[in-house]
Amino acid sequence: MSVELKLVKQQAAGLDGLHLRVRTAQKEFHARLLEVERTGGLTPHRYARFLSMQYHLTRGVQRHFYCIAGNEDLASRRGLRKFLVEFANEEELHFQIAERDLLAMGEKPLPRPLDVSLWWAYFDSIVATRPFVRLGATAILENLSGQSQELISRIMSNAPHINQANSRFIVIHRHDKLPHGDQVLEALASTSLEPRHTADLEEGAETAMVLYFRLADWAFGPQGGNP
């Protein structure tokens, strides 16, 4: 085994806590989707709320990744810096995809949910000083659907109002062609991290789970399932 491969494996081992949280989030997301399926599926009302939530959550997201890339903690972590700049460029216009999907349904984005405002307020306040907290949140968001691909396909196939014209956001974020979830974890595993970094990654992952599943309840729960 090469010295470089040994180093990568050692670095990846330091991410065990993050990987555990990713798996926990995937299981919880799968359970939420099963409940969606059990309680009427992805109705037009639920789908519009989901897309609206994602529109507000992703609009301006590149700012955080550019901020992290410019942090002094990445001065000697150029590989991660390069990845984040490219990642920001890819993610920047995804809010427009959610908006176009809504327009294709004859809808427009709903007002920003409170929990999206809380997400932005929290991470805006911390991203410049503790960038790895935000990266831990990114690892969760980009890997949520990892255990649910078949279930998502089933839910979508049972929603006659969802078609090629209004499902681009979901298709892109299933990561068949852009495997961002794997890429984020690989970029972190290839980076030399200190214990304070891995602790922040785990904290960010836990924070993301709390906030995102509150948003999932807003989109898919009782208030999301009924007009």
pLDDT grade, residue 221 (50/70/90)? confident
Residue with tokens 């040994």: 6
3-class DSSP state of 174:
coil
pLDDT grade, residue 176 (50/70/90)? low
Q: Is the distance from CB of 123 to CB of 137 less than 8 angstroms?
A: yes
Token digits for 91? 């993610």
**pTM, 2 dp:** 0.90
C-alpha distances (whole Å) from 185 to each of 138, 141, 142, 182 are 10, 12, 9, 5
3-class DSSP state of 130:
coil
In whole angstroms, what separates CA 147 from the centre of its chain? 14
Using CB atoms within 10 Å of the CB of residue 202, give its burial: 0 to 12 exposed, 13 to 18 middle, 19+ buried: buried
How does the average pLDDT of the chain come out, rounded? 91
pLDDT of the residue at 13: 53
Judged against a pLDDT cut of 70, whether residue 78 lies above it is answered with yes
Q: pLDDT (tens digit, 9 = 90+) per residue, 90-146?
A: 999 999 999 999 999 999 999 999 999 999 999 999 999 999 999 999 999 999 988
pLDDT of the residue at 174: 75
| Domain covering 3-225, topology | Heme Oxygenase; Chain A (1.20.910)
Judged against a pLDDT cut of 90, whether residue 190 lies above it is answered with yes
Which of 48, 45, 36 lies closest to 148 in space, CA to CA?
A: 36
Which of 145, 146, 127 lies closest to 137 in space, CA to CA?
A: 127
Judged against a pLDDT cut of 50, whether residue 208 lies above it is answered with yes
